[in-house]
Amino acid sequence: MLVNNDIRDFSDLLDYRSEQEKKMKEIDDRQQEIYRRSSSKKRAIKTDEQYRDYQLWRLDVQKELDELKMQKKEVKKQRGLAEMTIKEKLYTASYEVS
């Protein structure tokens, strides 16, 4: 969480936002990898046994996709908080200058 990080100044806040964006990209990449693999496996199905194997594999992968979705939601929330804080800091700085 944003409040649990050691953010002392504006550059730490920007670093935190970049870290959250990196996490988001990693999650997106993993999701896309799973979707591509699922599509490939599904197209390769020729028999009922292969279909059953695919369904079992898909159940396992769905757990990972659900976990990734929860992580993505939390990262989006943290990134949004960081964005709001950055905007507030910039607004405050511009107000003090004028």
Q: Where are the domains of the chain?
A: 2-97
pLDDT at 96: 74
Dump pLDDT digits (tens) for 29-49: 999 999 999 999 999 999 999
- For the residues of 36-90, what is the DSSP string, one character each? HHHHHHHHT--SHHHHHHHHHHHHHHHHHHHHHHHHHHHHHHHHHHHHHHHHHHH
Residue of 75, 45, 71, 47 lying closest to 58 (CA atoms): 45
Dump pLDDT digits (tens) for 39-89: 999 999 999 999 999 999 999 999 999 999 999 999 999 999 999 998 888
